[in-house]
Amino acid sequence: MTQVLLVGTDCSECSDRAVAYATKLAKVANSHLYVVHVINWSPYTFNTPRENEERHQRRENELERAHSQIIDPIVKDLRSKGVDAEGVIRHGHPAETLSELANELDATNIIIGRKGQSLIKAKLFGSIASTLVQIADHPVTVVP
Does domain 4-143 fall under CATH 3.40.640.10? My reply is no
> What is d(CA 7, CA 23) in angstroms, rounded to the nearest whole number?
9
DSSP structure class, residue 109: E
What percent of the chain has pLDDT above 90? 58
Q: Residue 125 above 50 pLDDT?
A: no
Q: Residue 58 above 90 pLDDT?
A: no
The residue that leads in pLDDT, 87 or 54, is 87
- Any idea where the domains of the chain sit in the sequence? 4-143
The stretch 21-33 carries a mean pLDDT of 95
> What is d(CA 59, CA 4) in angstroms, rounded to the nearest whole number?
28
> What is d(CA 40, CA 34) in angstroms, rounded to the nearest whole number?
18
Is residue 37 helix, strand or coil?
Answer: strand
